[in-house]
Amino acid sequence: MTDNSATFDIAGYGHYPVNHQPLSIETGPDSLRLTWDDGHESEFHYLWLRDNCPCPGCVSTLTREQMFEICDVPLSIRPLEAQLDGGYLHIQWDHDGHVSRFHPGWLRSHCYSEQARAARQWQPEIWDKATIETSLPTYDYTAMMQDDTVLLSWLRQLRDTGISLLQNTDTTPGTLQQVAARISFIRETNFGTLFDVRAKPDANSAAYTNLRLPLHTDLPTRELQPGLQFLHCLNNDATGGESILVDGFRIAQHMREQYPDDFEALSSLPMDFYNKDRHSDYRFRGPALVLDGQGTVIEVRFANFLRGPLDVPADQVVRHYRAYRTFISLTREPRFQFEYRLVPGDLLVFDNRRVLHARQAFDLQQGHRHLQGCYVDRDELLSRIRVLERTL
Amino acid sequence: MTDNSATFDIAGYGHYPVNHQPLSIETGPDSLRLTWDDGHESEFHYLWLRDNCPCPGCVSTLTREQMFEICDVPLSIRPLEAQLDGGYLHIQWDHDGHVSRFHPGWLRSHCYSEQARAARQWQPEIWDKATIETSLPTYDYTAMMQDDTVLLSWLRQLRDTGISLLQNTDTTPGTLQQVAARISFIRETNFGTLFDVRAKPDANSAAYTNLRLPLHTDLPTRELQPGLQFLHCLNNDATGGESILVDGFRIAQHMREQYPDDFEALSSLPMDFYNKDRHSDYRFRGPALVLDGQGTVIEVRFANFLRGPLDVPADQVVRHYRAYRTFISLTREPRFQFEYRLVPGDLLVFDNRRVLHARQAFDLQQGHRHLQGCYVDRDELLSRIRVLERTL
């Protein structure tokens, strides 16, 4: 693959294969329209093109950061001349004669037609008990550690399905450090970098008891809930303690279809989440279901035991409780629950901002249960995927 | 102060002084109304009260986390009996005879009347050049390190004003570790835990050159922009390199008043922020101005040099650029700019999600400039304030 970046055609480290050629340009008052060899049309505004000029005068060749600022040219900027040459779009600007040159692969990748924007929209792979039991994404620890292709496949799977199992993981305590380093940094929290999940005296969280833990996301009390959660099984011969996982996106989808007002309430009314600790007092206020600009559910925030008193307008209190009860009731339905018993060497990884997890109570008279856990944020995952995609 | 928590009156570690007593109860179909000795009225819904029962059967006495789940009682739950006794509200529930007892200070603190909710709304102290030059919050390093009262005052100031200067700070490299530990953890990023701001070869960010840096927030490429930014001056005898700070909330306020459509565009249309690095590829898509549910601006996300190509519907492109240019132009106006030259021992701390910062170019022929920096997230700040407030 050509290193586009060396020619300063592109303001970054990405690679943009040229799969199509622009054939013609039609200029309008504030934008031009390219027609491509497959019939696709792209409208590019003059302000947008000028803003994205990749030349060494506009973009630092050292840092690849833009030095040009769009407020230094008139709003009315337009081409003196616009032409195609060897697939490149060349423009000379009326304002000061500056010349910009755009790579065809880059242009096509950044087309913002309705069709192109829709094609770029990420779609999660939503699951329930039946689908995940037959298709739990499973990877081998050693293969993932040694082979970047396996790593990339694992990370993409985590991004899209939100769950995966690494098997045959080294059971040395602290192994999670090496696993996390395949992605990036561990997200440190008040529970530490690595945390040990086992029953202990003076527990500051139900996680550190042997009690049943109802379905929840971890740390909904934090503005940014931790993204990936890693649970590494070192020992599990106690009776009980099975893990239960539910795709929160599936619950949200079901609510949207069957209980639209409840869905609307949980995605618009804020909840208050409080941590309960002698040494910290994190609080966050926000809806249980988070939507992006297109209305897609991108996050679920939910732990019954980490809530503060509801603080919404009085006329919304009953509506909120109705919706919240619907949500909890659905998470309890077996058709949505994936139950799994971790064995030593299993490393379960899931998107903590999507997948709710629970644990059955366990009996310490009958053995031990020791997991190690850590978190890695979602944007570390996405960054790593992009960097791997540049080179593989 | 009484330790309420020991009596399990309150499900947490907070203290709730009793400044008012409830005088009477009026019960309705799904809520009751308390009238207090100052005439204030509080409506509490039955579901809300049952959900907040602090008894040891509902809340773990070990972890202070709620074990009760609201979907285990009927939506129609209501009191068999509700009465006041020694200021406490006692309720016996119709569903199963469960008894709940509510502390008057706690109840009053959690009243969700319109008036009480408005009084709890946080209001930033907004500044511009004239106001901050006469009232830059300034603290002494040693006093802050040794005295929790000074620490709390400093942290509240940071929360509300978004800027402060610590003077006479030890100029030993790494001192920031101790300062950050007064609050909580350092937020690690791809630039490290502590980062050294000085010109260096093969810079992966304009920060590490001697170039002018236009006004920006750091790491708008990350889903959670770092909250507090610390800039600790170890050495600054180069010519130039003055720091410039602008209250982004002031710019947003001005835009809202003078350019309402531009304000609306920047607070609703997403921008794309890309980091430009050989080893990481963080991207974030979101508006430059972030509003909370009440329409208050709570965050500004802005770095011209860390943007990716705009990706909005074609009919919004020119509108977006118009708004974005207005924003940049306003940040360049001297009336909003606070210029400050750091001297060794100065530690400038500001809310990176609010205050834009810039640096003039500097000339290394004439001396050296070496700052150390780090980040601490906003919710670490707020947690520390709450914990200090419990005890001071």
**pLDDT band, very low/low/confident/very high, at B61 (cuts 50, 70, 90):** confident
pLDDT tens per residue across span A43-80 = 999 999 999 999 999 998 888 889 999 999 999 999 99
| Average pLDDT value for residue range B10-38 | 92
DSSP state of A37: T
Inform me whether the C-beta atom of residue A29 falls under 8 Å from chain B C-beta atoms: no
Inform me whether the C-beta atom of residue B7 falls under 8 Å from chain A C-beta atoms: no
Question: At residue B300, does pLDDT exceed 90?
Answer: yes
Inform me whether the C-beta atom of residue A15 falls under 8 Å from chain B C-beta atoms: no
Instruction: Flag if B387 and A280 touch (Cβ within 8 Å).
Output: yes
**Residue B307: predicted pLDDT:** 95
| Average pLDDT value for residue range B345-363 | 94
Instruction: Flag if B283 and A382 touch (Cβ within 8 Å).
Output: yes
Nearest Cα of chain A lies from the Cα of B13 at a distance, in angstroms, of 7
Question: At residue B327, does pLDDT exceed 80?
Answer: yes
Comparison of pLDDT for B194 and B392, the residue scoring more: B194
Instruction: Find the CB nearest A379 among B113, B205, B223.
Output: B223
Instruction: Flag if A63 and B209 touch (Cβ within 8 Å).
Output: yes
**Residue B1: predicted pLDDT:** 34
Q: Where in chain A are the domains?
A: 4-120, 129-391
DSSP sequence for A196-231: EES--TT-SSGGGSSS-EEEE-S-TTSSS--SEEEE
| Average pLDDT value for residue range B294-302 | 94
What CA–CA distance (Å, rounded) separates B318 from A74? 12
Low-confidence ranges of chain A (pLDDT < 50): 1-6
**pLDDT band, very low/low/confident/very high, at B238 (cuts 50, 70, 90):** confident
Task: Reduce the secondary structure of chain B to three states and give it as a string.
Answer: CCCHHHHCCCCCCCCCCCCCCEEEEEECCCEEEEEECCCCEEEEEHHHHHHCCCCCCCECCCCCCECCCHHHCCCCCCEEEEEEECCEEEEEECCCCCEEEECHHHHHHCCCCHHHHHHHCCCCCCCCHHHHHHHCCEEEHHHHHHCHHHHHHHHHHHHHHCEEEEECCCCCCCHHHHHHHCCCCCCCECCECCEEECCCCCCCCHHHCCCCEEEECCCCCCCCCCCEEEEEEEEECCEECCEEEEEHHHHHHHHHHHCHHHHHHHHHCCEEEECCCCCCCCEEEECCEEECCCCCEEEECCEHHHECCCCCCHHHHHHHHHHHHHHHHHHCCHHHEEEECCCCCCEEEEECCCEEEEECCEEHHHCCEEEEEEEECHHHHHHHHHHHHHHC
**Residue B176: predicted pLDDT:** 97
**Residue B7: predicted pLDDT:** 54
Task: Look up the CATH number of domain A4-120.
Answer: 3.30.2020.30
Task: Look up the CATH number of domain B4-117.
Answer: 3.30.2020.30
**Residue A94: predicted pLDDT:** 96
**pLDDT band, very low/low/confident/very high, at B33 (cuts 50, 70, 90):** very high
Q: Are A216 and A354 in contact (CB under 8 A)?
A: no
| Average pLDDT value for residue range B188-198 | 90
Nearest Cα of chain B lies from the Cα of A252 at a distance, in angstroms, of 17
**Residue A32: predicted pLDDT:** 98
Inform me whether the C-beta atom of residue A256 falls under 8 Å from chain B C-beta atoms: no
Question: At residue B341, does pLDDT exceed 90?
Answer: yes
Fold (topology level) of A129-391: Double-stranded beta-helix (3.60.130)
Instruction: Find the CB nearest A112 among B112, B306, B311.
Output: B311
Instruction: Flag if A223 and B222 touch (Cβ within 8 Å).
Output: no
**Residue B367: predicted pLDDT:** 82
Inform me whether the C-beta atom of residue B181 falls under 8 Å from chain A C-beta atoms: no
Inform me whether the C-beta atom of residue B276 falls under 8 Å from chain A C-beta atoms: yes
Inform me whether the C-beta atom of residue A325 falls under 8 Å from chain B C-beta atoms: yes
Give the H/E segment covering residue A119.
Answer: helix A114-120
ipTM of the complex: 0.93
Tokens of B380: 């670490």
Helix (H, G, I), strand (E, B) or coil at A321: helix
**Residue A183: predicted pLDDT:** 97
